[in-house]
Amino acid sequence: MRLITVTWKRFKRNKLSVAGAITVIALMIIAILAPVIAPYEPTAIDINNVLSPPSSEHLFGTDDLGRDVLSRMIWGSRVSLRVGFVAVGIAITIGVIIGSIAGFYGGKVDAVLMRFVDIMLTFPTFFLILAVIAIMEPNISTIMIVIGVTGWMDVARLVRAEFLTLKERDFVLAAKVSGASNLRIIFRHILPNALSPVFVAATFGVAGAILVESGLSFLGLGVQPPNPSWGNILTAGKDNIEVAWWLSLYPGLAILITVLSYNLVGEGLRDALDPRLWETEEES
């Protein structure tokens, strides 16, 4: 409890990070309440209101099929956040397992696993995702899995580095002497103390996954119409940029604000969980 209290105390000193956290929470609430707060059905076509500019009836205007842009953006927030959280969850699970095994056992196991990580890092991630999506059917489930499976390497390296430091601590040696199994030592004693950088990486990872999903949808390889996504709304904006500026402005701002907010939260967490700053505070 003291760790959580002190971390929050240090986190809230960074006003930008707090503002980012408030924005993230607001976006989550909007995504959860999308069926309630969206003024129109996101896929409802209205040929009498094609490319209507923002008005009291349609606050963010309409697209090339007369669909309400605000409603599509509200529902699109669900897609972006779902992709972000699920993809990062997959990446963290794989990264934590591989990093824990490599850092704990060391030697040949560490060498083999880290060389595999190095090989994975040589592939341009976005182009690897494009290649897989082009082969498989483009849908939200495929996107989440592919982003997660191609985004675990940094987490694995972070966890490995923490394990290499922690496995020589006295509490780990005491657990070994008491006869605890390797799995118990890894997941009960070491891993809980190695998760601080993982939380930070996860926050940045959500922002990155949202950007990747938006890029794929913009290219037509992500969420497929008529299902709404910030990326495919931008595609409609590109096709009508000269007559419908709102189709590019609003989803672009949504992506910018969301990614920026997660990055601000990540930076705040990184500072709040930095052990060197903890030591400085204790000395003062």
Q: CA angle, corner 105, sides to 101 and 109, nearest 5?
A: 75
Instruction: Confirm whether 45 is domain-assigned.
Output: no
- Quick check: is 43 in a domain? no
Radius of gyration of the chain (CA): 22
Q: What are the tokens at 163?
A: 């394990």
pLDDT value of position 284: 47
Query: For position 20, which CATH number holds?
Result: 1.10.3720.10
At 139 the three-state DSSP class reads coil
What is the DSSP code (8-state) at residue 228?
A: -
Are 62 and 52 within 8 A, CB to CB?
yes
Per-residue pLDDT tens for 67-95? 999 999 999 999 888 888 999 999 999 99
Q: Are 216 and 144 in contact (CB under 8 A)?
A: no
Can you give the residue range of the structural domain that contains 203? 12-37+64-283
237 pLDDT band (50/70/90 cuts)? confident
Asked if the model's pLDDT at residue 142 lies above 90, the reply is no
Q: Is 50 exposed, middle or buried (0-12, 13-18, 19+ CB in 10 A)?
A: middle
Within a domain: 185: yes
Check: CB of residue 122 under 8 Å from CB of residue 110. no
Query: What pLDDT digit, counting tens, does each position of 13-46 carry?
Result: 889 999 999 999 999 999 999 999 999 999 888 8
Averaged over 180-205, what is the pLDDT?
A: 87
Q: Classify residue 57: in a domain, yes or no.
A: no
Count of domains observed in the chain: 1
pLDDT at residue 277, as a whole number: 54
Residue 56 lies in a domain: no
Residue 51 lies in a domain: no
